[in-house]
């Protein structure tokens, strides 16, 4: 029974890899939509976010079934619950990309991001995309050091988020609407990164069986 | 074994009631801090949010132990997983109250909320607090209709959130910083309400054993 449980868990890891790749495409499309004014890209984000929500539910149901049919030992159970956490984080990453896409669509054909913060925003988008890929790759190859690497990238994201708020709270000539859009988009990128870091920590756990230290 | 599992689950429900009451106090203190300029109230929010994070971890560990030691039937397992979801939602509610408190502390002794949107904000705070109490009460008395009631309250919250953004995106003379603060606080209240609704749906599930319909 135990070997079967591990086998099914491994199959589930395959689905999580696909989900992480989707969440990564979603944030890239969201950044494209925002920066290049591409509403079709924004629509793709919304479709992908809805798919990720369904896939998370599918992972939850599969894990419930596995837990009920087989009586896992403690370590296997912990792995299954780590899988639930990762699926939840990836679903949130997709939802956050969707929030960015919706702000773009609300403003289109006017751009939501003033030129003064374009560079910061573009870099936030790049880091978010990198974090997404690292989660997907860590899930695929079973990288137990993913958590630490993701933490470093997240430090850069936090620094950019602070820079963004300095711009917003300094001499900001673009009006309240642009300020709110920029603040929310910045927050969505930063939350995306946080969920990627959480997912990365749980991946290390899925691989090593050692609980995350924080 | 089955009776023991249900008994332990019921004991856990007691902890969830306490957690929901704490998350409710936290949002009331956050609103007090914001509206009356009371930094001590803001500090209490941060302490409570940290406690809620620990309590969520405690619930997770207890449920893991229960699942490993006893081999629950499918329906009990689903209830246990619903308990995990509720604990997660309540922890997020505390964290969101904490985000509001932090914005107040950043601006103190200057107020973060311009008088023009004070009424909307105050009402958002009241609804959030009501939603928190309804979750706590539903957990305590086992109210299976909590989900529907919470949905109605959440509709009012969504309407207020829209009003707030109309004010922000209309003729807004208070500058970018106040706009960003107001937009973020509004979003935190709205997310608090969403998590309360999610928790309420899972409570109905905990009580009836019927999965939430959405």
| Interface with B, mutate which of A57, A180, A187 (most B CBs under 10 A) | A180
The predicted-structure confidence for A14-33, as pLDDT tens digits, reads as follows 999 999 999 999 999 999 99
Q: Which residues of B touch A180 (CB under 8 A)?
A: 165, 168-169, 179-180, 183
Query: Does B54 touch chain A if contact means CB atoms closer than 8 Å?
Result: no
Give the model's pLDDT for residue B211: 61
Query: Does B68 touch chain A if contact means CB atoms closer than 8 Å?
Result: yes
ipTM of the complex: 0.82
Question: Is pLDDT of A122 > 80?
Answer: yes
Count of A-B CB contacts under 8 Å: 64
Burial, A166: exposed, middle or buried (Cβ in 10 Å; 0-12, 13-18, 19+)?
Answer: exposed
Confidence tier at B213 by pLDDT (50, 70, 90):
low
B73-82 b/e (C-beta count within 10 Å ≥ 16 → b):
eeebbbbbbb
The predicted-structure confidence for B24-72, as pLDDT tens digits, reads as follows 999 999 999 999 999 999 999 999 999 999 999 999 989 888 888 887 7
Average pLDDT, integer, range A111-124:
96
Residues A33, A41: contact at Cβ < 8 Å? yes
The span from the CA of B149 to the CA of B108, in Å, is 36
Confidence tier at A10 by pLDDT (50, 70, 90):
confident
Q: Closest approach of chain B CAs to the CA of A174, in angstroms?
A: 8
Question: Is pLDDT of B177 > 80?
Answer: yes
Q: CB–CB of B169 and A176 under 8 A?
A: yes
List the alpha helices (DSSP H) in A37-145: 39-69, 74-107, 118-141
Q: What is the mean pLDDT of chain B?
A: 91
Query: Does B106 touch chain A if contact means CB atoms closer than 8 Å?
Result: no
Give the model's pLDDT for residue B81: 86
Q: Which candidate from A73, A81, A172 shows the least CB-CB separation from B176? A: A172
| Sign of the alpha-carbon torsion through A187, A188, A192, A198 | positive
Query: Does B165 touch chain A if contact means CB atoms closer than 8 Å?
Result: yes
Question: Is pLDDT of A2 > 70?
Answer: no
């Amino acid at each position: 029974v135990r070997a079967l449980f591990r086998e099914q868990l491994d199959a589930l890891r395959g689905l999580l890899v696909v989900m992480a790749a989707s969440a990564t495409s979603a944030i890239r499309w969201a950044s494209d939509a925002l920066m290049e004014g591409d509403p079709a890209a924004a629509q793709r984000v919304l479709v992908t976010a809805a798919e990720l929500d369904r896939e998370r539910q599918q992972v939850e149901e599969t894990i419930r079934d596995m837990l009920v049919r087989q009586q896992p030992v403690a370590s296997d159970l912990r792995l299954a619950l780590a899988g639930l956490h990762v699926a939840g984080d990836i679903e949130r990453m997709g939802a956050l990309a969707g929030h960015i896409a919706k702000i773009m669509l609300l403003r289109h054909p006017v751009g939501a991001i003033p030129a003064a913060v374009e560079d910061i925003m573009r870099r936030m988008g790049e880091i978010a995309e990198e974090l997404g890929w690292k989660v997907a790759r860590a899930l695929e190859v079973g990288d137990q050091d993913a958590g630490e690497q993701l933490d470093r990238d997240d430090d850069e994201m936090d620094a950019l988020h602070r820079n963004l708020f300095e711009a917003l709270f300094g001499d900001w000539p673009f009006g309240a609407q642009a300020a709110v859009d920029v603040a929310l988009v910045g927050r969505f990128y930063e939350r995306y990164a946080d969920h990627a870091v959480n997912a990365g920590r749980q991946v290390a756990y899925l691989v090593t069986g050692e609980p995350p230290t924080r």
